[in-house]
Amino acid sequence: MSESKLAGQYFDAAIGLLRRVRDEEAEAIGAAGALIAETVVAGGRLFAFGAGHSSLPAQDVVYRAGGLALMNLLPVPGVVGVDVVPATLGSALERVDGLAGAVLDNSPARAGDVLFVISLSGRNALPVEMAMHARAAGLKVIGVTSVAYTTATTSRHHSGDFLKDHCDLVLDSKIAVGDAELTADGVGAPFGPASTVVTSALMQAVMATAAGELAARGIDPPMLRSGNVDGGHDWNGRVMAAYGDRIFYRR
């Protein structure tokens, strides 16, 4: 099989998943956007968390051109991306009980804020406990996960619960268990993960919806402009000055 054919198959698979999410998650995306808008109007703050590669869609909505300036990353040392050595340590930390509570207790998150918890499988202790502790503290939790894992795998949290069981809203990425869209002769394992593409698009769709919701309420959404266009830095400076008490990645 030619490399170009595999590339085309990967794009087709990713596009198919994006269409499914667009069509099947439209109501949930709308609800998430409305919740963000309500939180912004009420003076609340916005956070996103993900571990391992699930941190990439969380980072993608923080401090970026065309993004909502109020989105903050909720970092957990050793689990953001693959910046810990050995990389397997990050996976091990996802299974540690009690870590989520310690992180939340030492974060600026408070009652009335919104927290996105992104976890492809939703089965590890860290995302489950992050959602549990956040809700107990009065935050609204939006879970971004593949619901398929709840019927094809077992939870690694002592409760037996998955992330989706402790959320106010759930956005289903539709990613198949194993996160690999392709197979080919001569390749021993399935390959072609699509979770980052789809989950990042899902997050950006929510941000776009939130911007529209704020505009509909007569509020100019605090969006960031690219620093690589004329006037971008000045624009961003004004936005950050106006909303500095809710932007934590500058401190």
Quick one: which of 24, 14, 38, 13 has its CA closest to 168?
38
Q: At which residue do the structure tokens 């009335």 appear?
A: 112
Sign (positive or negative) of CA dihedral 20, 171, 209, 51: negative
Identify the DSSP state of 186. T
Cα–Cα dist 34/32, whole Å:
5
pLDDT at 1 over 60: no
Q: What is the pLDDT of residue 91?
A: 80
> For residue 22, what pLDDT is reported?
98
- pLDDT: which is higher, 87 or 190: 190
Going by C-alpha positions, the residue among 132, 140, 176, 120 that lies closest to residue 158 is 132
DSSP structural state of residue 163: G
Q: Pick the range with the lowest mean pLDDT from 67-71, 148-152, 175-179, 247-251.
A: 247-251
Residue 19 CB coordination number (10 Å): 11
- pLDDT tens for 71-125 read 999 988 878 777 777 888 778 887 778 888 999 999 999 999 999 999 999 999 9
- Backbone torsion region of residue 192, taken as left when φ is above 0, otherwise alpha when ψ lies between -120 and 50, otherwise beta: left
Strands (E), 113-216: 114-118, 140-145, 169-172
Q: Which structural domains are found in the chain, ordered by start?
A: 3-246 (3.40.50.10490)
Q: Output the pLDDT for position 69.
A: 97
pLDDT at 222 over 60: yes
Determine the Cα–Cα distance for residues 169 and 34; give it in Å rounded to an integer.
Answer: 11
Integer angstrom CA distances of residue 61 from 47, 80, 133, 178 = 10, 14, 23, 25
Identify the pLDDT of residue 136: 97
Are the C-beta atoms of residues 48 and 73 closer than 8 Å to each other? yes
pLDDT at 35 over 70: yes
Supply the pLDDT for residue 94.
Answer: 78
Selected residue with higher pLDDT from 251 and 124: 124
Please tell me the distance from the alpha carbon of residue 245 to that of residue 148, in angstroms, as a whole number. 39
Handedness of CA 242, 40, 249, 198 (dihedral sign): negative
Amino acid 2: pLDDT: 62
Return the number of other C-beta atoms located less than 10 Å from residue 95's C-beta.
Answer: 13
